[in-house]
Structure 1
Amino acid sequence: MDILLSDIPKLQAKYTFALKKYDIDLLDNYRLLENMEQVYGKTNEDLPVVFVGDSVFYGPEEIYEKMDGVLRNLTKRQQKELERPVRKKDTLPQIVERIRLDYFFQPGCEECSRLDAMFNNLEKRDSIVVLRRSIFDDTNRVLLEALSEKIRIPERQRLIVPVIIYGRGYLIKGEITTDNIFGLIKEHRADNNIIDSINMEGAENSILRRFGQFSLLGIVFAGLLDGVNPCAFATIIFFVSYLLFLGRRRRDVIFMAVSFIVAVFVAYFLIGISAYNLLDYVVGYEVVAKIIFLCFGIVAVSLGVVSLRDFVYARKGYYDKMILQLPLGIKQRIHRDIKERTAIGGIILGSFAAGLIVSFLEFGCTGQIYLPTITFMISKVGLRLKPVLALLIYNIMFVLPLVLISLLAVIVSTDNVAKSLNKRIPIIKFLTAILFFVLGIALILSA
């Protein structure tokens, strides 16, 4: 509100006008704001709101950019009094019994932040209790779906917030006004106990059915694409080649490859669970949630641009000029660790240890897809219900190419497999770029 303390007084010194302030934490003033917005035919969530003449400005930036020009034009027309709608008499119905409204919101939602002022005053002035339920909480999401199923909210409108549910009626987004709330209470007061008869288990299945198929297909695609990342399969080819070079029997090579791949799966799954729990916790804070979704979205889009650049160089055969690949020093460290670990600790344990170490070393490359995908999972209501399942699917798809490459390298030859995979690096880079763009845009829109 700094603009009210600095810029507007400067404008008052420049032009002749009176400034009247209204605190919308008071219900009468909030209703006045709604009435004025109806008269002006405009609404927005930004604060503060300034009405001057025939114009209305939302937020410090718009006030700063436009208010001076409007005041200048009004002064030129020698308008003696600024036009403003007449404040209507408060005609809120009197409510005797306690009314419970179920209000579902998303942390960081601008509409939701503005509605808080209205709800605070409804609770102070009238016999209303507003039960605030964040849809970032699994139980609240399922409850919203169950209520939506019970009162037959169309599927295309379900899990959209902000939403108020009372009895068998509901208000969504722009429909939530004080007049509409009291109309909702008056119309549905007789059937306000339906929450006692809802089906929570059926609601969870409904969410998974509606969102899970599309979202999990995205997880499958992301995991598979991450698995054919040159960072990952270059390591497994070197691993198998080294074992064959040592003269190991093919059966031993297969056992060691399986141990190596299991270690990679375990390491990535643990990294994913840790990252998911951390991000899931911090996005519970409104501002942090928006910042995280926006930052990861921007990072994903940026990586998409870099992947397109790598695609162009890969098509020309300039693989050494690709940016999204492991640095030479890390590659050499991975090769050294594989040699050391497979030479000690037995066939199985040595390979497993090598797999764990290699997983963390190459995470800087493969994690470019993994972390944005996890953030995308948190932003999708369906996937938040089953994070362990989603991460299991992702990591199964991630190691699947490693399994296939290992078998081919043992059965055919590592040279042929390496050459075949190198030919496909351009298309892999192109598909990776598309994935980054899709994830980035989805995360930015979720912010």
Structure 2
Amino acid sequence: MLLGLASATVPALAANAVAPAAATTRTLEVFVRDGCPHCADAKAFLGKLSSTRADLSIVYRPVDRDPAAREALFTLSERAGVWPPGVPTFVIDGRVMVGFDAEQGGSALTALIDDRAPRGDQVETTAFGTLSASRLGLPLFTLALGLIDGFNPCATWVLLFLLSLLVRFRDRRRMALVAGTFVLASGAVYFAFMAAWLNLFLIAGMSTPLRWGLALVALAIGAFNVKDFFAWGHGPSLSIPEAAKPGIYARMRAVMSAEAIGASLVAVAALAVVVNFVEILCTAGLPAVFTAVLAQHDLTPAARYGYLALYIAGYIADDALMVTVAVVALGNRKLTERGGRWLKLASGAVMIALGLAMLLRPEWLS
């Protein structure tokens, strides 16, 4: 069973997908879900259209509240070759269309109702599914959030401290292998963490209460991070707890004391896993918001995980750059309090902006 339903922006038509029902009246079935901005746009458009189309009966089927509607959508989409299912989905006279674009004034939906083929504005790709002008912003959005997330002070503090220890060996090869393994292992753990977030949102759907809850969490995390800029070390914080730091130091010493390079790599990979779990509250905000946004897009499973990989590429890019600079220069640099405060401020500002967008302008993220 497919894990969830994405909100579709660009209409995709399956002209001969489903055998027409032997009905004497024209019925337009509309599969929708709560919290889908494109569904809301479609309802507003159809509300106006119905006043001029007396022969048209419009039936809304909420897939988030009606299991029968969800199962019917799965069946129709599979038979129509429109996969994965998305909302809103329109079915009339045996023809299926997914998506509604308010900017086009509902022209594609009107063409579907009037049995006219809409003009296409999309390109099918195997890597990222359907690409269109309205969706070209998603890759840049993904990469930008990944880069910003990579500068979180928790992971940066651990990596820079590790590099400051490794530089004492004066061995560029060992330094690159150990630090590079830490970065790659961190990326792998983060990918698994984000995949879990994504599947959670695909299963639950992005209902209005869930969107509001996520927006409030993003605002709270952002507020904590901004607070840390002005009141570092005072009050509640989403940084690595002081009580956890001795254990991290001990694992770093294990990495340094291992004579064989293989043992060092195993130890540093274990360190990366531990650090990612310890810093979970420090880094959970952006991945949660991004995967919630990603779940709303009508993408194939492969495309969704491709975007996760792109996010991770951005996430580890800045770490990889720090490792490269340290290896080339054999430099010794730690994250200062001033640097950590500025990273907190930047991260908090982004979280607050995303939280406000999810709360007030969710269509910007769809």
Deviation string 1:107-152 (CA, Å, 9 cap, x unpaired) is 356997xx8xxx9xxxxxx9968584869986444995999xx9xx
Alignment-derived partner of residue 107 in structure 1: 34
Partner of 2:347: 432
> In 2, Cα distance between the equivalents of 1:350 and 1:392?
25
Match of 1:336 in 2: 250
2-structure distance, mates of 1:430, 1:443: 20
What is the Cα deviation at residue 294 of structure 1? 1.1
Residue 267 of structure 1 deviates from its aligned partner by: 0.6
* Cα distance, 1:330–1:211 mapped onto 2, change above 3 Å: farther
* RMSD over aligned Cα atoms: 4.5
Match of 2:357 in 1: 442
Report the residue type matching 2:253 in the other structure. Answer: K
Cα separation, 2, equivalents of 1:252 and 1:157: 57
Q: Where does residue 238 of structure 2 map in the other structure?
A: 324
> Is the 2:84–2:299 Cα contact (8 Å) retained in structure 1?
no
Matches within 5 A, 1:15-414: 97-108=24-35, 130=59, 132=61, 139-141=84-86, 156-157=103-104, 165=109, 168-169=112-113, 188=114, 191=115, 202=124, 208-245=131-168, 247=169, 249-283=171-205, 289-313=207-231, 318=232, 323-340=237-254, 343=257, 346-381=263-298, 386-412=303-329, 414=331
Helix, strand or coil: the match of 1:346?
helix
CA displacement, residues 66-100 of structure 1 (integer Å, 9 cap, x when unaligned): xxxxxxxxxxxxxxxxxxxxxxxxxxxxx971534
Instruction: Give the number of aligned pairs.
Output: 305
- The answer as to whether partners of 2:32 and 2:60 remain within 8 angstroms in 1 is no
Could you report, residue by residue, the CA deviation over 1:175-219 in whole angstroms, capped at 9, with x for unpaired residues? Answer: xxxxxxxxxxxxx4xx38x69x98996599896333433233222
TM-score by length of 2: 0.67
User: Which amino acid counterpart does residue 156 of structure 1 have in structure 2?
Assistant: E
How far residue 362 of structure 1 moved from its aligned partner, in angstroms, is 2.0
Cα 1:430–1:211 shift into 2, 3 Å:
farther
Higher normalized contact order (CA 8 Å, seq sep 6+, divided by chain length): 2
Which residues of structure 1 form unaligned runs of 5+? 1-94, 120-125, 170-187
Name the CA shift for 1:436/1:157 in 2 (closer, same or farther; >3 Å): farther
| Partner Cα separation in structure 2 for residue 382 and residue 349 of structure 1 | 36
Distance 1:130 1:292 in 2: 26
Aligned-pair identity in percent equals 20
CA distance in 2, matches of 1:386, 1:355: 27
Once the two structures are superposed, residues 316-343 of structure 1 have per-residue CA deviations (whole angstroms, 9 ceiling, x without a partner) of xx46778232111122222222333564
Q: Secondary structure at the match of 2:334?
A: helix
Q: What residue number does 1:55 align with?
A: none
Amino acid at match of 2:243: G
Report the CA distance between 1:386 and its aligned residue. Answer: 2.8
Label 1:268 to 1:109 Cα distance change in 2 as closer, same or farther (>3 A): closer
Which has more radius of gyration? 1
Question: What letter matches 1:217 in structure 2?
Answer: L
Secondary structure of 1:103's counterpart equals strand
Supply the distance in 2 between the matched residues of 1:96 and 1:279 (Cα, whole angstroms). 37
Letter in 1 for 2:326: A
Summarize the Cα distance change of 1:221–1:214 in structure 2 as closer, same or farther, 3 Å threshold: same
Moved over 6 A (4+): 109-112, 126-129, 197-201, 203-206, 382-385
Task: Give 1:266 shift.
Answer: 0.7
Amino acid at match of 1:239: L
